[in-house]
Each structure stands twice: as C-alpha cells, then as structure tokens.
Amino acid sequence: MFLTIVSFFLLLGLLIFFHELGHYLVARRNGIEVEEFGVFGFPPRLIKLFTYDGTVFTLNAIPFGAFVRMKGEDMADTSPGSFNAARKRGRVLTLLAGPAMNFLLAIFFSIASVFSGFPAGAAHPLLSDVPPGTELMGAALKQNDTLLRFNGQPVYIDARSGELLRPKQRTPAIADEAGTIVILREGALHTLQVPFATRNELERLLEDVSPHPALHTQVTQVAPGSPAENAGLMPGDVFFAVNGEVVTVERSLGEVVRSHLGETISVTMLREDELYTRDVLARQDPPPGQGAMGVGISGSLMLVTLPFFRSIWQGVVGIVDYVQAVIALPVLLISGQLAPQDAALSGPVGIAQLVGGAVSATADTGLWFPVWQLAAIISAGLAIANLLPIPALDGGRLLFIFIEKLRGRRMPPEKEGVIHLVGFVLLLGLMVVITINDIRSGPQGIDWSQLLGP
C-alpha cells in the first residue's frame, strides 16, 4: 500500500509538473507574467524555494501535482502582463503548451518502453511461399519448412508483421551449432547445415520469402475432464497443426476447429522441441467457458528490442494508436460496439492501483517496461482530458477564446468566471463518482506476468 501511494503521487506529480512547465515557458514567451510556480503540490505553501524573473517557485503541502498562477487569472484583470491582456494567439499557445508537453512526455516514455524491451506476439517463420532460385532454396530449405532455431538460438518473427524479432534476453550462441538451423518438416524435426552464419544474413534472406507466422498459439490451461486433458495436452504446449493443416495467424486455431465441430480431430503439438499428435474431440456443446476442446489459449509473447530508429518510430506510433483509440471510444459506445463496463474510467484510486502494480512488476522483474508504458498512457490521457471543451480545463478556456474570435469581443469576465466555477464543481463531482466506482469495483491492475513472463 505504501509503495502504491508514494509511486502514484511521484508519477502524477512529475506528469503535472511538466504540464505546468509547458504553460510557464510559453506564457513567459508571450509576455504573460507568472506570479507563482508551485513545482510540487497545492497550497498551503510549505517553502519558498527561490524567485526567478518575477516568479516565486514554491513547494506546497497537498502532494497532488503542481500549478502555475498567471497574472490575471481572476478574469477581470486586463492590466499589462496579465493573461487576459495578451493577444489571442499568445493565450491559445499558452493553453496548448500544457497538453503539448504531456504529449511529448508520453512519446518519450513510450520510446523508453520500447528501448527497455517490450512484449510482442511471437511466432516461428513458416516458409509457405519460397520462390524458386532463392538463396534459401540453395540452403537446403524447402517449401513449408518451419524454422525453430538458428545457431542454437530460437528464431521468432512478429505475429503481425512477419519481421524477425530480436529477443531481449538472448541465449549465447553455441559454437558447435554455428551455421546450423533446426526446422520442422512434414511433422519431424531436422537439423541442417546452412551456408550463412549470422543473424543479419538470416534476416535478409527471410525478407525475400515473406514467411507466415506459425506456432503462435499456446495452451495456457486445460479444463479437468475435458477432451484435451484426456488426450494429454498440457499448459505450455503449442499448436502446430489440426488435421494436417498448419495453424497460422491468418488461419487461426479457432477458425480451424469451428469447421470440425462434433468431430474427432488430430492435433499436432510442439512440447519442448518435440512433436506429438493426439486425437481430440471438438465438442459442439461444451460446458460454459471451456471451448470445444477444453483448453485456454493465448498468443505467444516475448520481450524484444528494436534497432535505434525503429524504436523511436515504434514509440511514436504507440502513442498515436492510443490517442486514436481514445478518440474513437465515444463512437464505439454510442454505436454499441463497446459495452460501457468495458470502457470504465479510472479515477485516482484506480490509477494509483495501476501505478502500484506497474512499479511492483518492475521491482520483481527488473524490467522497466511496465512503468514506462503506464507513464506514457497516463501522460497521453492527461493531455487528451485537458483538451476537452469543458469549463475549468484548458480545452474549456480555448473554447471561450474561439467564441471571442467569432463574436469579436470577450464574454463578460464575471459570466466566464461563473461558468468555469460551475465546470470545476461538476468535474469534482464526476471525480467523486468515479472514485466511488473504483472503490466498489475492487482492486484494478494489469496482469504484467502475462506480458513479461515469470
């Protein structure tokens, strides 16, 4: 509990500090005076740290974020140097600077999470389309071979893109196995000598054949008394083929099994580099939650790294995908494609539990991916939330500037102040409701062990 509370306040304080730093820097750039920068916490003030360029920097008693107090925030002050006296462009840029800083921080954390090693869907490459005359054919590899190991190291490709993966934890190359490759061919394991010795050469050769991801679906649990248990399937086994048809990402296990419901099917499994085949009944009406064979399955995951520039690109793409998903959320809810309970918002309690879980996972595994990834998500979420056109938020203030632009004059300060006050009270009320829901829902968290392994 102590770790959860401390880590929550530290992370949130860091994210809000940079948000307010964005406001401070751009405000000063546009001639807006900043009277106080509470670098950590909200009043009452504990310590005056120093004064710089007319701004008092302070530490405060309530350990929840940070704040910037600009001249003229009472709406009525239009004296020189106040926020209200600044040009519309300056005010807009100042308000956008906070969310922009959080977006930049989210991208930084996302890139850091990729550099630290991130979980990716892992599969072995199936050479289902090898053009005649390629170097792979000259290396004694054949159509429909599945690559398992090269130079004693596992060979994995991304289950979505088909690109060769770089495991974060690599096993040392075995000298006696240099220039060798272990494959699955026609249901049997074979070890071949190949005329190339480096992983870069293998990567270049695989680019010529566009391998298909295979051996991606693994057993996570077996229901007692199920056909799978009776056939001897065990957690950790990986599906290779059903009735002789190789299971791939494109032709999934569920899709293959559904076409044979009510039949006894032949499944070929891989267990610790050994293949075995069993007959399993694919039930038409299984008990709830068991599935046709009585197995729980998941895609294989492994921690991987990327080259330097690819890591940067992957980190940026990850945040862009998250922002797009958040923007699409209202449409999915309205259209009924997403149930409200699956899109539940997390308040301070829920976020604190998520942060505590991520910090604990990092402490247990020594892997920083959970902390960096969650920090990126929270920072991006903070930016999006602040841009919502709700009074008292940056987005609400931007809306008033837009209205001012359309009307040709400002709304009376007293009216704008009342609207922001009402918006602030409503936000507090919403936060209380979400917090109560967090408490009623019980502990929240991400099962990092499923992503990071034991």
Third-level CATH fold of 217-299 = Pdz3 Domain (2.30.42)
The pTM of the whole model exceeds 0.95: no
- Residue 245, strand partner residues: 242
Which residues touch 209 (CB under 8 Å, ≥6 apart)? 127, 129, 130, 131, 134, 136
User: Could you read off the pLDDT of 31-82 as tens digits, one per residue?
Assistant: 999 999 999 999 999 999 999 999 999 999 988 889 999 998 766 777 889 9
434 vs 293: CA distance, rounded Å: 40
Map residue 24 onto helix, strand or coil.
helix
pLDDT band with cut points at 50, 70 and 90 for residue 425 = confident
Domain residue spans in the chain? 128-210, 217-299
Angstrom distance (rounded) from CA 158 to CA 164: 6
pLDDT in tens, 292-330: 999 998 888 888 888 888 889 989 999 999 899 888 877
Question: How would you classify the pairing of strands 301-305 and 166-167?
Answer: antiparallel
* Residue 445 pLDDT: 62
Rounded Cα distance, 418 and 414, in Å: 6
Q: Quickly tell me which residue has 């008990």 as its tokens.
A: 287
